[in-house]
Amino acid sequence: MLRRLIAYLLLLCAIFLPWLAWETDRNMVRRWVYPLTGHLSALSTRCDASAPAWLQALARQIPTKFDSPANQIAFVDTSGTLSGCVNGWEGHPFISQRVTADTRFRFASLSKLVTFFGLAHEQAMGQADWLSLPLVQVLGLTPPFHDPRIAQIKVRHLLNHSAGFDRMRDKDPMVIDDQKPWCPGQLEKLVGAPLQFIPGSRHAYANLGFCLAAAAYEKYMSRSLWNALEQDMHLSRYGLGYMDEADSPIAYNFMHNEMRGPEFVEHFDWQALRSSMGMTGSAQGLARFAADNRTLLDFARGMHDPAIPCNEALFESCMDGFLERRRLGDAIVWQQRGYLYGMAALFAMDKAGNFLVWLGSGEVNPPTLASDFLARALIDGSAQRAAQ
């Protein structure tokens, strides 16, 4: 009888305790079971035959090291050769579709790479000299301005995050829950907007700047940026698109986020966010797009403004165009990090011009942990190739 009671008690605990844990803290339970998912994802890694050994090893580390159960990573060397690796599933392991090289992921702020290319390609090709124009002139806005420094903003300031907007010192108007941003639909509100510093005096990352630049492009060129990207740069050929038209099928990993879940996408205006964080596609598609327009990466780096003081060791202190210039040890990398709730992404390029694109389905803290690790892997991997 005693043995029977003990068996019943153990059975009850085996059923009740997991249920209690799930109801008390579901993310805690997800974190308990994630190591199994992470290892299964790592074991599922598939790479192109041309993928270098360091890229294959890196791809296998990402699911367990950065809690990202689905991943794509693509590498392009200076000759233009592209290779890549993928791992994981769109949803639960084995019972959902496996991630392929064509699976659509969210780009988050890697969208700025595409936006920058669209905004700068005509100037880079010598077809239109417009980046040095005053923003208010392009938009047709006249004083008085709440902040007179608004008149000093040039379009190029928007593209290298030096226009005077600082999301760390004021609310980012592009991502306030359930509130439609005033850009791009109510551009007249710019006249009442405050600035946090003198345009051109320092760098501060700002999503608003890219929205204003896209709106300015439409005013100046008499066509939308999205039409230009398709007509001039054939965006859809690369499998790139927009979240407001077709979201990613990936089930993103929110186990470290106690405030947000998958429903967060319902609270933002993704059409307004196209230019800053609202695009989708694959890592290899974005890598091919960047490789086919490599001159625009050089154009971005050429926007380096030595008159702006910055510290390459500090987060988002130095910007060359859309690219953050960062020092890691003795090496310099140019990068664009991507973050949305439940995901992280990275574009990173070394001094020689080798670059990688990573799209992941998990988030880690601090946000620079994964980006620094991948950037160092790029530096070391490129050095290995150069030594061979």
What distance lies between CA 73 and its chain's CA centroid? 13
**Residue 37: inside a domain:** no
- How distant, in Å, are the alpha carbons of 63, 120, 345, 355 from that of 60? 7, 36, 16, 19
pLDDT score at 19: 41
Flag whether pLDDT at 33 surpasses 60.
Answer: yes
**Residue 365: inside a domain:** yes
H-helix or E-strand spanning residue 357? strand 355-360
**Residue 98: inside a domain:** yes
**Residue 182: inside a domain:** no
State the amino acid at position 72 in one-letter form. Answer: Q
Closest by CA to 297, choosing from 76, 69, 59, 13, is 76
pTM (two decimals): 0.93
pLDDT score at 6: 56
Burial class (CB in 10 A: 0-12, 13-18, 19+), 346: buried
Domain that holds residue 118: 44-125+234-387
Q: What is d(CA 214, CA 21) in angstroms, rounded to the nearest whole number? A: 48
Q: Please state the domain count of the chain.
A: 1
Q: 276: pLDDT confidence band, cut at 50, 70 and 90? A: very high
Quick: pLDDT tens for 112-156.
999 999 999 988 777 778 999 999 999 999 999 999 999 999 999
Phi, psi of 81 (to 5 degrees): -70, 130
Flag whether pLDDT at 23 surpasses 80.
Answer: no
Q: Any residues with CB less than 8 A from the CB of 13 and at least 6 apart, and which? A: none
Q: Any residues with CB less than 8 A from the CB of 352 and at least 6 apart, and which? A: 78, 382, 386
User: By the 8 A CB rule, do 358 and 72 touch?
Assistant: yes
**Summary mean pLDDT of the chain:** 91
Rounded to 5°, the CA angle 374-379-385 comes to 120
Quick: pLDDT tens for 343-352.
999 999 999 9
**Residue 367: inside a domain:** yes
Whichever domain contains 354, its CATH number is: 3.40.710.10
**Residue 25: inside a domain:** no
pLDDT score at 24: 52
Quick: pLDDT tens for 50-99.
999 999 999 999 999 999 999 999 999 999 999 999 999 999 999 999 99
Quick: pLDDT tens for 152-208.
999 999 999 999 999 888 889 999 999 999 999 999 999 999 999 999 999 999 999
**Residue 287: inside a domain:** yes
**Residue 212: inside a domain:** no
